Amino acid sequence: MANASHELRTPLTTIKLRVEALLGGARNDPAIAERFLSEMESELDRLSHLIDDLLTLSQVEVGLETLKLEKVDLQLLLGEAMATFWPRAEAVGVTLTMDAPPQLPPVKASLPQVRQVIDNLLDNALQYSSSGGLVTVSCRPANGSIAVSVTDTGQGIPAEDLPHVFERFYRSDRSRLRSSGSDRTGGLGLAIVRSIVTAHGGEVSIDSQEGTGTTVRFTLPVYAD
């Protein structure tokens, strides 16, 4: 609760300061007023994402949300997710690729939750990638499951941080993330990934080397008639 309160307080403080400045006269300068309103909109988006993530995490972890498992074409789902992130990747000069066999068996999963897992991992990969980088999504059959990995050639994660990255609200190099303007999920992205994958009976892991890149892997059970 203390961590959640901190994450909610930060954008609220920013919004409050901007409102006070506007009321104090900044609204009379069109350029400053527009900049402050834009910053407030960004902070409100951040709050909205954080609240959505908190609700998702609590529902999955305490079992209030019953998983509606169905037959999911994972390869198609991955392709759709990559198409969604393609404009963002192109804008920052990062190449998105997918490595998968021609045909994969379907998985037994909740489609919206698996899509959230993929979106969170692609979002992280692009956050920490710089221009000229590469993000690769791979999937392969593996002992009654489909193994998916998302690999980037970005900043990587220090070895001492790796054991903690799936913890709620944990961030590697918090100040760098905040200053980059990419702090959208409040340190909940990988915690949600772990909770959703675990709820499906899958496994999740991460490998990273600072300055080289990161790979996050997860598995989902193959659908059986």
Assign residue 32 the CATH number of its domain.
1.10.287.130
122 and 21 co-located in one domain: no
**Partner residues linked to 71 by β-bridges:** 108
pLDDT averaged over every residue in the chain: 85
Domain assignment present for residue 59? The answer is no
Domain assignment present for residue 108? The answer is yes
80 and 174 co-located in one domain: yes
71 and 170 co-located in one domain: yes
74 and 3 co-located in one domain: no
- What's the per-residue H, E or C state across the chain? CHHHHHHHHHHHHHHHHHHHHHHCCHHHCHHHHHHHHHHHHHHHHHHHHHHHHHHHHHHHHHCCCCCCCEEECHHHHHHHHHHHHHHHHHHCCCEEEEECCCCCCCEEECHHHHHHHHHHHHHHHHHCCCCCCEEEEEEEEECCEEEEEEEECCCCCCCCCHHHCCCCCCCCCHHHHHHHCCCCCCCCHHHHHHHHHHHCCCCEEEEEECCCEEEEEEEEEECCC
43 and 73 co-located in one domain: no
97 and 16 co-located in one domain: no
Domain assignment present for residue 194? The answer is yes
Give the pLDDT score at 34: 92
Domain assignment present for residue 133? The answer is yes
7 and 80 co-located in one domain: no
Residues 77-92 have a mean pLDDT of 93
The pLDDT tens digits of the residues spanning 25-49 come to 998 999 999 999 999 998 888 888 7
- The number of distinct structural domains making up the chain is 2
71 and 36 co-located in one domain: no
> Which one has a higher pLDDT value, 112 or 65?
112
Domain assignment present for residue 62? The answer is no
Domain assignment present for residue 209? The answer is yes
34 and 77 co-located in one domain: no
Domain span holding position 10: 1-50
188 and 137 co-located in one domain: yes
109 and 159 co-located in one domain: yes
Confidence of residue 157 (pLDDT cuts 50, 70, 90): confident
CATH of the domain at 184: 3.30.565.10
pLDDT at 180 over 70: no
Domain assignment present for residue 61? The answer is no
73 and 100 co-located in one domain: yes
Domain assignment present for residue 141? The answer is yes
Confidence of residue 118 (pLDDT cuts 50, 70, 90): very high
Crossing angle for the helix pair 189-199 and 30-62, to the nearest 10 degrees: 30
